[in-house]
């Protein structure tokens, strides 16, 4: 394990890598949520649209809490 004191450059790279991975995961979650929402609206069934809206709301709330 690299500590900040022993190798600050490697430590900073590790921190940036974790942040990049987190943002990629969040991007993928948002993309999946949007795809589901668009498919639900395209299908036109109200129950499916409601479920997609609920999922989108939960995803956005979760991401807001993390920032």
This prediction has a pTM of 0.73
Please answer whether residues 65 and 35 qualify as being in contact, where contact means their C-beta atoms are separated by less than 8 angstroms.
Answer: no
Question: What residue spans define the domains of the chain?
Answer: 8-66
What pLDDT does 64 receive? 86
What pLDDT does 34 receive? 92
CA nearest to 56, candidates 39, 21, 32: 32
Collapsed DSSP state (helix, strand, coil) of residue 11 = helix
List average pLDDT for each run of 10 residues in the chain, which is 67 residues long.
Answer: 78 93 93 92 89 91 82
Query: What whole-number distance in Å separates Cα of residue 31 and Cα of residue 49?
Result: 16
């Amino acid at each position: 394990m690299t500590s900040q004191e022993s190798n600050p450059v490697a430590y900073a790279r590790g921190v940036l890598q974790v942040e990049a991975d987190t943002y990629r995961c969040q991007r993928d979650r948002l993309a999946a949520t949007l795809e589901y929402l668009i498919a639900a609206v395209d299908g036109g069934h109200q129950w499916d649209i409601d479920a997609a809206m609920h999922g989108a709301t939960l995803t956005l709330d979760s991401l807001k809490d993390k920032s």
